[in-house]
Structure formats: structure tokens, C-alpha cells
Structure 1
Amino acid sequence: MQPPVAAVVEAHGTLERLVAHVTDQQLAEPSALPGWSRGHVLAHLTDNARMFARLAEHALRGDLVAAYDGGVDERDAIIEATAGRSAAEHRARLAAHTARLEAVWARAGEEDWKRPVTFRNADLAATVRARWREAWIHMADLDLGVRSDDWPEDLATHVIAFLLGRLPAGTRLYAEDARREWSVGARPGTVVTGRVRDLAAWLAGRPPAVSPVAAHGLPALGPWPPHPPSSGNGQRVLRS
């Protein structure tokens, strides 16, 4: 299956328009992510594009490299070091790294998408889907006008499928508007009902426009699907 490159390019365009007129003051203000300013979110989106471009460039040469040589600590240090850029600097670096990422993806042939990468121990196609999630989820985190209600329906269904593992066994999701359902395990249990974008937002830990409902309350969510272990003695949970 071909990864949704065109959909990610469209998401990049939406992100570019979203931050086109953002000010230095707005970037210094808190985002919807606890502990992160909007500058932190934008720094993460920018460096995420750089990281995926690097992985893709090496994958097309048949090389495997770590997403971050220093693991999550390196990722966090880059975000902290670049979060305070001016709005103009943020826009310039975001544009440069997304252009680089889209350019390397444009060189990939059908068989290249199967090339392995170290990110989630997956293949190159999986990084396209990961960038799709990152772009739309973090656009909502920027709190500049894009909400989970604005996510494309196919992105929402992808997010649900990706995050089903956060649910207890026996949980069934039913999207009333899309008339689709997802189940975790075979045994019957809690049924959670809502619109497809609201279900996706809830699973992603973001505010849905209308909260999904279940007869006896929504189940507790487990952690996000884990990344491969970082360097050090344990694993850390990433924000997305």
C-alpha cells in the first residue's frame, strides 16, 4: 500500500498557513500541551521533519541510522534549544525541513517504501504515516485555530487504528458518522460511541469537540505504542 504522501504534503500546507502570521509573543505563550509553549510545539514539528528526512535519505541508500543518536534526550535538547526562535526563524526552518522531507520522499519508488528504518522498527512508509499524525495532532496543540474537528476523516480513522492498543481488551469503538467500528480482542466489553474525529482525539489524548460516551464511563487509556528503547536504563513516553 502506498503511503499517504500527498495527504502529508497537504497537511504541511495547512501548517504553513496556520503559522504564516504568528507573532513572537504568540509563540512564547503556552500551547495546549502542558509544559510546552507554542514555540516548543513548532520546534518539535520542525525537527521531526528533519529527523524523518534524515531517516529517509539513509534508507534510500540502504543504511539504518537511529532517529536520534542520543535518544529521547537529544530530541528534547533540540526542542529546548530551538523553541525560543523568532517567528520568522521558526517559519524559515520549518519551510526548509519540510521541503527537504518532501523532496526525499519524491525520490522513493514503490519498493523503496518497504525499506527498513529504526523509527518504531518499521519501514519507510510508516514514517510517512507518522508524520501525518504528527502534523495534524500538533497543529491542534498549537491552539491557533485548528482543532481535532478539522482533521481529515481518513487521518482520524488512521489515528484510531494506530492507537487501539491504548484500550483495554474487549473495548469496541463505534463511529456514528462514519459507520465504522474497531474492536480490541474478541470478548465483549465496553462500547464507546462518538464521531470518528472525536474518537481519534480522545485516543490521542486531545480534547474532542464532543466527548465520546460509554454506558459506564470511558475506559482508562494506556500508554502510546512504545518507541524502541532509548539509550539509558529505561523508556520514556513521548508526547506523540
Structure 2
Amino acid sequence: MTTPTHDAELVRTATEDLLSATVKLDPSAIAEPSHLPGWTRGHVLTHLARNADALVNVLAGKPMYASAEAREADIEHGATRNLDDQVDDVRTSASRLESAFASLGEEDWGRTVTLRNGVTDLASALPFRRWAEVELHHIDMGIGYRLEDLSGTFLDRELAGMARRFLGHPDISVALELRAEDGRTWRTGAPEAGAEGPLVVVGSTVALVGWLTGRTTGSGLSARGSLPALPAL
């Protein structure tokens, strides 16, 4: 059974896996490009650290970030630090978030919290959101962790979550039916399909998650027409 407490434990494990891989890097590798355009590995790690602190803010009823500009400035400022400082920052900020999660009782998990850009969610959803941040940015680091290394449990939940996120999104004009190779389906995109029905996109959960999260351009997927451009995350 999925619980936020269990998800918080998965966050801890994923963070340790990321840090264990990162500390093995040559110190100079921190300044090398990541898989994210315009970001080095230092940018990715700094973002992860500041995201942990931002979620602590959310749980305390504060704004996630002081502003969009402050968020970007913090990432740019921290990106040039050395490897040891980056690792320590991710570890200590993760510990602060872990303590914040551990302090929540059953009623706390059920309250609504406000994220960036006015997005709201239940506090109970935050551990999974953080788990996704750590897993996907581990891939973005370009240090050997791949989409194919993600667990089936994570892929299933991320796929369902991304389908919900894009359902009815104003920037997606076509109705989509995501179809995994085992026959499971998810609806997303425009809420109403035309006469031909939704555009059916077929592939493995790995390929579907890679496309939905912007980590691939749709490799490994098949559809009767061109895949639509998806909104940036």
C-alpha cells in the first residue's frame, strides 16, 4: 500500500543512490554539461538542494520560492561550487526535508498546500513529487543512470501522474490515449476527441514516461500521426 511515509523512505533511498554515484565523479565533472540544456551537473545538484528547501517552506505554509527570479539566481549562484560542497548541500537539505516529512501526523498529510505558480496539492503528494525530482534529475546528471533503470512502481505512478497533469492542458490541442504494451491505457491532452477518436500513442512505460517528462522526443513510441509537442515542465 502506498503511503506518504513509505514514499518519504523511497526519497531517502533515491537520494542516497544519487549521492553515492556523485561522490565517485572526478571533481572536474561537476562543471560538465548535464542532459538539461544550459545546465551543468552543478546546476542540477543545486536545483535539487533548493527544491528540498522549497518543499520545507511549503510544509511550513510559506511560499515555495521567494520569486521565480530568486529561484533562478540561487541555482546559478550555487552551480559553480566544488563537488564536495554540492554533495554536502544536497545531503543536508535532504535531511531537513526528511525531518519535515517525519514531523507530519495523519491530519497534516491531508491538508492542501500551495506550490509554484499557484498550483495546489495535498501534503501527502509531496514525497512522491520529491521522489520524481530525485529520480529524473539523477538521469539528467548523465552519470550512468538511465530511464531503463527506473523501477516499475515509479514508472507506473509517474505515467499516471503525468497523464493527469496534461489532461485538459490548454497547450495540448489533441486528445491522447496512452497505451502501454501490456494493454493499460491513460487518457490525457484535450478532453474531447474528434470524429477519429484520440491519437493513440503506444509504447513501453519507459518510453511513455521519457516522452511525457521531456527526457526523450518520443523514441520507442508509435502513433498514427505525429506526436504533439508537450508543455515544458
TM-score greater than 0.5 by the shorter chain: yes
Q: What is the alpha-carbon distance in structure 2 between the residues aligned to residue 143 and residue 170 of structure 1?
A: 33
Match for 1:78 among 74, 78, 85? 74
Match for 1:6 among 4, 9, 14? 9
| Structure 1 alignment gaps of length 5 or more | 59-63, 225-239
2:174 and 2:228 in contact (8 A); partners too: no
Q: Which moved more, 1:161-170 or 1:123-132?
A: 161-170
Q: What is the alpha-carbon distance in structure 1 between the residues aligned to residue 215 and residue 51 of structure 2?
A: 20
Deviations 1:73-92 (A, max 9, x none): 11101001100111011111
* Distance apart, 1:186 and its partner CA: 5.7
How many residues of Structure 1 are paired with residues of Structure 2 in the alignment?
A: 216
Give the residue type in structure 2 aligned to 1:176. Answer: E
Q: Please tell me whether residue 181 in structure 1 is matched to residue 178 in structure 2.
A: no
- 1:213 is paired with a residue whose SS is coil
Give the residue type in structure 2 aligned to 1:79. Answer: I
Q: Please tell me whether residue 21 in structure 1 is matched to residue 17 in structure 2.
A: no
Q: Please tell me whether residue 205 in structure 1 is matched to residue 214 in structure 2.
A: yes
Match of 1:220 in 2: 229
Give the residue type in structure 1 aligned to 2:176. Answer: T
Q: Please tell me whether residue 196 in structure 1 is matched to residue 205 in structure 2.
A: yes
Distance change in 2, residues 1:162/1:168 (3 Å): farther
2:207 and 2:221 in contact (8 A); partners too: yes
Q: What is the alpha-carbon distance in structure 2 between the residues aligned to residue 13 and residue 65 of structure 1?
A: 27
Deviations 1:57-76 (A, max 9, x none): x1xxxxx210012x211110
Tell me the TM-score normalized by structure 1. 0.83
1:149 and 1:197 in contact (8 A); partners too: yes
Deviations 1:141-191 (A, max 9, x none): 1000111111122222222223221654421011115x4210133632211
Tell me the TM-score normalized by structure 2. 0.85
* Distance apart, 1:108 and its partner CA: 1.3
Match of 1:61 in 2: none
* Distance apart, 1:217 and its partner CA: 2.8
Give the residue type in structure 2 aligned to 1:68. Answer: Y
Deviations 1:171-224 (A, max 9, x none): 1011115x4210133632211111101101111110389521112232322x25
| Structure 2 alignment gaps of length 5 or more | none
Give the residue type in structure 1 aligned to 2:187. Answer: S
- 2:17 is paired with a residue whose SS is helix
Match of 2:103 in 1: 107
- 2:201 is paired with a residue whose SS is strand
Q: What is the alpha-carbon distance in structure 1 between the residues aligned to residue 176 and residue 58 of structure 2?
A: 35
2:113 and 2:123 in contact (8 A); partners too: yes
Q: Percent identity?
A: 32
2:56 and 2:97 in contact (8 A); partners too: yes
Q: Please tell me whether residue 89 in structure 1 is matched to residue 85 in structure 2.
A: yes
Deviations 1:26-71 (A, max 9, x none): 1101110111011001110111112112322x1xxxxx210012x2
- 1:55 is paired with a residue whose SS is helix
1:202 and 1:211 in contact (8 A); partners too: no
Match of 1:156 in 2: 155
* Distance apart, 1:133 and its partner CA: 1.4
Q: Which moved more, 1:21-30 or 1:204-213?
A: 204-213
Q: Which moved more, 1:72-81 or 1:6-15?
A: 6-15
Q: Please tell me whether residue 35 in structure 1 is matched to residue 74 in structure 2.
A: no
1:197 and 1:208 in contact (8 A); partners too: no
